[in-house]
């Protein structure tokens, strides 16, 4: 089965036939384009809860139905809820800066962590967990899972979950595929490990370092109630991301949004 991958030239979802194609995953279909909504399938609708302020240091827990046989692109909107997700850490330079901003604005986020980085910096993973944020599995090596056999997919996911559990004492309940590359094998492995597959609906392309203004503009113009916002604290120089978060967090709060975990 062909997988869904992210097109890093335009930031949109790429499908086999670009705009018109549909991908069947676990007996369901996703629509292409910015308004890609889940069309059908047996999985129950996911629900979100209001985020616990990070400064309370109560670990966040997702409220989700299971089994969940398709990725989440949006959270259920209650009172203008949105989700902030931070990928590719933990990083000794940028993760502490992001944590400081989240604490300042009392925002709870989901950190999609790479297993090898967790193993290298377990104290940072613990700090994220103890600050009340959610940690998602983001594979062991940030591998593109689309071309890997099932046993390699299993290894990438299990090693990362083991590292996160060793550092925090908690098994991750969410999984994010690097590059947004979803296949039937990935979905099946998530089901075996009782992890909800999570994608995103707002990609400001901060990983490309386009400049703080562009990151801010993309987040502010693309975010809607229910959006899952993608940002990064690892994988390169993330100073622009930190600077952009310093601007968008208070703006989004001023616009009446509430941050939740997926």
pLDDT band at 67 (very low <50, low <70, confident <90, very high): low
Contact assessment for residue 201 and residue 164, using Cβ atoms and an 8 Å cutoff? no
pLDDT over 90 (residue 32): no
Nearest to 135 by CA among 226, 32, 233: 233
- Taking only the tens place, the pLDDT of each residue in 186-234 is 999 999 999 999 999 999 999 999 999 999 999 999 999 999 999 999 9
- Taking only the tens place, the pLDDT of each residue in 136-152 is 999 999 999 998 999 99
- Reading the block at residue 87, the tokens are 């990928």
- Mean pLDDT for the chain? 81
Q: What is the pTM of this model?
A: 0.77
Question: Where is average pLDDT lowest: 2-16, 17-31, 92-106?
Answer: 17-31
pLDDT over 90 (residue 114): yes
Percent helix, percent strand, percent coil in the chain, to nearest 5:
35, 20, 45
Beta bridge partners of 81: 258
- pLDDT value of residue 160: 98
Helix ranges (DSSP H) in the chain: 94-105, 115-120, 122-130, 150-168, 184-192, 212-222, 239-254
Between residues 6 and 34, the one the model is more confident about: 6
- Termini Cα distance of the chain: 27
For 154-191, letters b (16+ CB in 10 Å) and e give bbbbbbbbbbbeebbeeebbbbbbbbbbbbbbbbbbbb
- Annotated catalytic sites, by residue? 87, 232
Domains and CATH numbers, the chain: 55-261 (3.20.20.370)
* Neighbour tally for 140: CB within 10 Å: 21
| Average pLDDT of the segment spanning 11-37 | 30
Q: What is the DSSP letter of 260?
A: E
User: What is the spatial distance between Cα 155 and Cα 95, in angstroms, rounded to a whole number?
Assistant: 26
| Average pLDDT of the segment spanning 146-175 | 97
């Amino acid at each position: 089965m062909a997988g869904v991958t992210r097109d890093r030239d335009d930031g949109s979802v790429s499908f086999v036939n670009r705009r018109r194609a549909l991908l069947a995953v676990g007996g369901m279909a996703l629509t292409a384009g910015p308004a890609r909504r889940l069309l059908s399938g047996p999985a129950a609708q996911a629900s979100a809860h209001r985020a616990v302020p990070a400064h309370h240091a109560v670990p966040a827990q997702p409220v989700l139905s299971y089994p969940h046989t398709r990725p989440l692109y949006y959270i259920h909107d209650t009172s203008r809820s949105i989700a902030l997700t931070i990928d590719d850490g933990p990083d000794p330079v940028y993760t502490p800066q992001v944590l400081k901003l989240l604490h300042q604005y009392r925002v709870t986020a989901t950190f999609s962590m790479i297993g090898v980085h967790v193993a290298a910096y377990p104290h940072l993973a613990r700090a994220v967990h103890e600050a009340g944020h959610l940690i998602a599995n983001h594979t062991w090596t940030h591998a593109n899972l689309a071309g890997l056999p099932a046993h390699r997919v299993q290894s990438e996911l299990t090693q990362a979950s083991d590292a996160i559990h060793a550092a925090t004492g908690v098994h991750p309940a969410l999984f994010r595929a690097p590059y947004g590359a979803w296949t039937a094998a990935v979905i099946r492995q998530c089901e075996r490990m009782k992890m909800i597959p999570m994608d995103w609906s707002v990609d400001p392309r901060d990983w490309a370092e386009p400049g703080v203004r562009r990151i801010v503009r993309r987040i502010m113009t693309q975010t809607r109630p229910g959006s899952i916002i993608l940002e990064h604290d690892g994988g390169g120089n993330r100073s622009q991301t930190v600077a952009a978060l310093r601007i968008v967090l208070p703006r989004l709060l001023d616009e009446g949004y509430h941050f939740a975990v997926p």
